[in-house]
Amino acid sequence: MLLEVRNLSVYYYTLSGVVKGAEGVSFNVEEGEWITFVGESGSGKSTVAHAVMNLVPSPGKVVSGEVIFEGKDILKLSKEELRQIRGKEMTMVFQDPMTSLDPLRTIGDQMIEAMTVHGVPEDEARERAKELLQRVNLPPDRLDYYPHQLSGGQRQRVSIAIAMAFRPKLLIADEPTTALDVIVQDSIMDLLDEMKAEGTSIYFVTHDISLAVERSDRIAVMYAGKLVELGTVEQIVENPLHPYTKALIEAVPDLWSERPVKAIPGYPPDLRNPPKGCRFHPRCPLAKAGICDAEEPELREVERYHFVACHFPGGAKDE
Ligand SMILES: Nc1ncnc2c1ncn2[C@@H]1O[C@H](COP(=O)(O)OP(=O)(O)OP(=O)(O)O)[C@@H](O)[C@H]1O
């Protein structure tokens, strides 16, 4: 096992109250797998991804839990130890590469620095930067460009090229294709697939479950700061057990069938004051008074590799 996240909770201490961005989240990432986190905006996907890198932004704080990466708790490492791991063993690409690229420095300078900080001599880093650009289908002369001279898709290729520099064990990609058109989106996904083929585990974050289905091995579904279902793609798509997962799947338009698209009624809760019991109960068609609004369901394994946090998994209400 490459990564083990145990009982992770992250709160944001804002002026208007404590936002429980993630609570009691546990999962593993295996070597060489592609795991995708899905859920509506605000469900805590980015919060967990940032915590795995020990990069939760202020006013956020990890209030409990462990993030064991190759046997070490990332949350307990010193800055220096983290520096050794980040960018080399585990790395992250973001929705907007402008947030990670420096607008005032050339692509080449930034790519080379990403390698020299880990001890690669400058000449070698320059050669490798050219090769890496070619790998992501960009001409080597782009080394002399500034980020604003590239399109959004090209910038994302550059951040993936930087991520590829050391064949990391884990790549966290937080909505890396959301701002891009479908064709460019696909080419970025292909690059992540190539990294996977070379042994990198892909930790992908998206609000679009249809993107998750094609390439992932497993899907993790988040709702209101909680992990509510986790399983293989087949289990999640063929046999979703959480009513929220079902709703997410039914909300995807299907070009080839007459099936109506069903929007999920209601809104995600305010995470300063999440609902008691199951957080989904106010929106759940199966919610049972006295149970779902009272007791919080634990995430439990209902069949091999398939975990769900629901009192009535699969809709067993009428029994
Ligand atoms: N810097 C912050 N300050 C205060 N609250 C935050 C901050 N970042 C996230 N949150 C809150 O934490 C909760 C989880 O947000 P998070 O961004 O992790 O969700 P998400 O599923 O990644 O959504 P999105 O796809 O919109 O990024 C939300 O209620 C959000 O408002």
> What CATH number corresponds to the domain at position 184?
3.40.50.300
pTM exceeding the 0.90 threshold for the entire prediction? yes
Q: Which of 11, 16, 18, 19 to mutate to test the pocket of ligand 1 (most atoms within 8 A of CB)?
A: 19
Q: Sorting pLDDT into bands at 50, 70 and 90, what band is 142?
A: very high
In this structure, is residue 157 part of a structural domain? no
In terms of pLDDT, which residue wins out, 178 or 82?
Answer: 82
Provide the pLDDT confidence category of residue 264 given band limits of 50, 70 and 90.
Answer: confident
pLDDT interval class at 318 (50, 70, 90): very low
pLDDT at 316: 60
**Of 82-86, 118-122, 173-177, 183-187, the least confident:** 183-187
Residue 212's pLDDT band (cuts 50, 70, 90): confident
CB atoms within 10 A of CB 290: 8
Share of the chain above pLDDT 90, in %: 85
| pLDDT of 118 above 50 | yes
The rounded Å distance from CA 140 to ligand 1 centre is: 37
96: in domain: no
- pLDDT digits 0-9 by tens, 32-60: 999 999 999 999 999 999 999 999 999 99
Q: Rank 84-98, 256-270, 295-309 by mean pLDDT and report only the highest.
A: 295-309
Mutating to test ligand 1, I would choose from 11, 41, 48, 96 the residue with most ligand atoms within 8 A of its C-beta, which is 41
- How many domains are there within the chain? 1
Average pLDDT over the chain reads 94
Confidence category of residue 319, pLDDT binned at 50, 70, 90:
very low
129 by DSSP, 3-state: which? helix
Preceding amide of 285 cis, omega within 30: no
Q: How far is CA 289 from CA 270, 283, 296, in A?
A: 21, 13, 13
* Percent of the chain's residues with pLDDT above 70: 98
pLDDT higher than 80, residue 63: yes
Q: Are 240 and 306 in contact (CB under 8 A)?
A: no
In a domain, 137, yes or no: no
Contact between residue 199 and residue 31 where contact means Cβ atoms under 8 Å apart: yes
In a domain, residue 205? The reply is: yes
Q: Is the dihedral of CA 206, 209, 210, 213 positive or negative?
A: positive
The answer to whether residue 36 sits within a structural domain is yes
Residue 180 has pLDDT above 90, yes or no: no
Q: In this model, does residue 257 exceed pLDDT 80? A: no
**pLDDT value for 252:** 85
Give residues (CB < 6 A) around ligand 1. Answer: 12, 14, 19, 21, 39, 41-47, 57, 59-60, 207, 271
Is the residue at 109 inside a domain? no
Q: Which whole number is the average pLDDT over 17-39?
A: 97
Q: Is 38 among the domain residues?
A: yes
Structural domain including 223 reads 3-89+166-308
**Cβ atoms within 10 A of the Cβ of 273, count?**
11
Asked if residue 314 belongs to a domain, the reply is: no
Q: Atom 10 in ligand 1: which residue has the minimum CA distance?
A: 21
Distance of CA 17 to the CA centre of its chain: 26
